[in-house]
Amino acid sequence: MTTISAPRERRPQKVAILPGDGIGVDVTREAVKVLETAAERWSLPLELVTFPWNADHYLETGETLPDGMLDELARDFSAIFIGAYGDSRVPDMKHAADILLGIRFGLDLYVNFRPIQLYHDKLCPLVGKTAKDIDFVVFRENTEGAYVGIGGNFKRGTVDEVAIQEEIYTHRGVDRILRAAFDYARRSGRGKVCMADKSNVMRYGHDLWQRCFATVSAEYPDVEARHLFVDALAMQLVRKPETFEVIVTTNMFGDILTDLGAGLQGGLGIAASANLHPGRVSMFEPVHGSAPKYAGTGRANPMAAVLSTGLLLDDLGHAEAAAAVEAAVREAIAYDETTSDLGGSMTTSEVGDALARRLARKVPA
Ligand code: NAD
Ligand code: IPM
Ligand code: MN
C-alpha cells in the first residue's frame, strides 16, 4: 500500500504508543509485538515509548494530554500509534477529544488516509464480488467540518432548548485535502478520484468543495475526476465498489463511509488508518473504537491495529517491512489464523503471535 508521506531522516525513530481504552489496549499489545518483530528482522532503528493516557488515567488524575506534549510529539517523535479511545465513565469523551482529536487537530494531520481492501474472497459480504472488486482508499479531511466543536446551547435542558453545531470549511483546508488525493492518485497509479459532498443542500460549505474541486481537478488532466453526492456514493459503494479507486470527502462523511468500507472488507477488525501531514510526525490507528464489551476477552481482532503499524512503517521509510506486515495479514486470513469476527477461533494474542511468526519467517508462507 503506497502511503503519502516522504520519509524523514531521524535516528533513532521514536514511536509514541498510546494504547488508550478498552480493546485499544488489547490490540496495541499485538501491534507492538509485530512492530518489535519487524524492527528485529529488518534492523529498524525504532524506539517505542508507551504513554498511559486513557480514561483510567483521566479519572484518577484529571489529566488528558499533558501540557506541552503536542510540542514534544512533534519535536522528538517520528510517529504516533493509538489503540482506541472511549469509555462510558467519560460520557462527554473529554479525554478522547483532548487526546485523539487533540493530536489530529493539534498536529494539523489533515489527511485521514483509510485504505479499504478485501484481503480474501471469503470475507466479502457482497454477492458476486471478489477481492479484485474492493480495493480503494478514502481521503477523509481531518481538521475541519463538523469536528471543530463550535456551537452552543440556549435554554439547555428545557423544552425550548436550541442546539447549534457549526461546520467550518476553509479554502486552504479543502484545497489541500483535494490535492493530497489527486497527488496520491497520480503517484500510486490509482487514476480515478471521486469527490463526495452534499452540495445540493449545503449551499455554502459544500459549494466551496465544488469550486475547489473544479480548480484542482483541472490541474490533474491525467487523473479521472468524478463527483457524487454522498448519499449516491453510499449506494454505489455497495452496488459497484469496483468503480472506485480514490474517494475524497469531508471529515464527517469520511467517518461514516469508512465504517461502510470496513464492512466491505470484513469488518472493523481489519480496517486501518493513518492521520498524516506529509513531512511531519503522523499518527496511526485502527478505524474501530474501544468496543468495551470485548475488552480483555481475547475476542478483539488485532489486524486493524497491525495493518496500521504497516502504514506507520511505510511512512517511516521501511517499505519492505510494511509490505511484509500486510502480506502476513493476508496469509493469516488465508490460513484462518483469525479471531471469530473473521470466522476463526483464535484469541487476540494468538493472532498477534501468528502474525509475528509469519513476519519473522518462522512459518512457510
Ligand atoms: P467500536 O468500533 O468500538 O465497536 C463496534 C463493533 O464493531 C463492536 O461491538 C464489534 O462488534 C466490532 N469491532 C470493533 N472493533 C473490533 C475488533 N478489533 N475486533 C472485532 N470486532 C470489532 O464502536 P462503538 O461500539 O460505536 O464505540 C465504542 C466506543 O469507542 C465509543 O466510546 C466510541 O466513541 C469509541 N470510538 C473510538 C474510536 C477511536 O478511538 N478511533 C473509533 C470509533 C469509536
Ligand atoms: C474514528 C472515530 C472518531 C471519529 C471518534 C472516536 C472521535 O469514529 O476515528 O473513525 O469520529 O473520527
Ligand atoms: Mn469512526
Does residue 61 surpass a pLDDT of 90? yes
Write the pLDDT tens digit of every residue in 10-22: 679 999 999 999 9
Cell 493472532: give the residue. Answer: 351
Instruction: Note the pTM of the prediction, 2 decimals.
Output: 0.96
> What spacing in Å lies between the alpha carbon of 82 and ligand 1's midpoint?
13
Does residue 262 surpass a pLDDT of 80? yes
What is the residue type of 338?
T
Does residue 349 surpass a pLDDT of 90? yes
Active-site annotation holder among 56, 198, 207, 353: 198
**Mean pLDDT score, 245-250:** 98
Write the pLDDT tens digit of every residue in 207-243: 999 999 999 999 999 999 999 999 999 999 999 999 9
**Mean pLDDT score, 316-333:** 97
**Mean pLDDT score, 53-66:** 96
Active-site annotation holder among 71, 108, 231, 336: 231
Rounded Cα gap, residues 239 and 242, in angstroms: 9
Q: Ligand 2: does its nearest atom lie under 6 Å from the Cβ of 255?
A: yes
Q: What is the pLDDT of residue 9?
A: 61
Q: Give me the domains of the chain, ranges plus CATH numbers.
A: 8-120+268-365 (3.40.718.10), 125-132+169-265 (3.30.420)
With bands split at pLDDT 50, 70 and 90, how would you rate the model's confidence at 292? very high
Q: Ligand 2: does its nearest atom lie under 6 Å from the Cβ of 287?
A: yes
With bands split at pLDDT 50, 70 and 90, how would you rate the model's confidence at 362? low
With bands split at pLDDT 50, 70 and 90, how would you rate the model's confidence at 4? low
The angle formed by the CA atoms of residues 216, 4 and 135, to the nearest 5 degrees, is 85
Q: Which of 80, 255, 260 to mutate to test the pocket of ligand 2 (most atoms within 8 A of CB)?
A: 255
Does residue 365 surpass a pLDDT of 70? no
**Mean pLDDT score, 301-305:** 98
Q: Which residues contact 320 (CB under 8 A, 6 or more apart)?
A: 42
Average pLDDT of the chain is: 96
**Mean pLDDT score, 9-34:** 94
Residues 140 and 276 sit within 8 Å (Cβ to Cβ): no
> What spacing in Å lies between the alpha carbon of 114 and ligand 2's midpoint?
12
Three-state secondary structure call for residue 360: coil
Does residue 300 surpass a pLDDT of 50? yes
